[in-house]
Homo-oligomer: A and B are copies of this chain.
Amino acid sequence: MSLFLSTHINRIDKKGRVSVPAGFRAALAGQSFHGVVLIRSSAHPALEGFGWDMMHELSNRLDEFDIFSDAQDDLATAIFGEAVPLSFDGEGRIVLPVELMEYAGVVEQAAFVGMGRKFQIWEPAALKERQSQARSAIRDKGLTLPREARG
């Protein structure tokens, strides 16, 4: 499989380590970098996560901009400057940096939410609230999925 699916809640030990769900690790198998990349979510008190190949893709897109241009600079600062690569240990765990833990408000448990090509990490209680919020947004606005994304 190569998509991040479903939600897993794992414990954070006193070293800040947390197991990445086995299914997520399977989705990342075969990548050059054995780990994940995390970045603060701009919209939520949560962390966005994906594999190294995604960073490569973002880098390629960034190369389309003129080097030293304002747009290139803004995007690179906000995206690459804030992205944190975290490699797996032998047991498939990562160590969450304290700044990221504080940003997401996680303390002793982290909820991994599969979102297809990416995933998010939430404080479990905050996630519950977010989920009901998302459900009602879909209902109220009548949101649906478009036919297919190009590319």
Contacts and interface: CB of A to CB of B under 8 A. Distances in A.
Where chain A touches its partner, the secondary structure class is mixed
B43 A76 contact: no
B71 A149 contact: no
A9 B89 CA distance: 24
Contacts of A76: 115-116, 118
Interface residues of A, number: 64
Interface string A13-30: 000000000010000000
A130 interface: yes
Given A143-B74, A147-B151, A80 B3 contact: yes
State the number of copies, please: 2
A90 interface: no
Contacts of A55: 3, 5
Contact of A143 (B75, B115, B150): B75
Nearest to A135: B78
Given A138-B75, A146-B61, A149-B61, A116 B5 contact: no
24 contacts: A3-B55, A5-B83, A6-B80, A6-B85, A7-B81, A42-B139, A43-B70, A58-B116, A61-B147, A62-B116, A62-B145, A63-B117, A64-B146, A64-B149, A64-B150, A74-B138, A75-B134, A76-B115, A78-B135, A78-B138, A80-B115, A81-B131, A147-B150, A147-B151
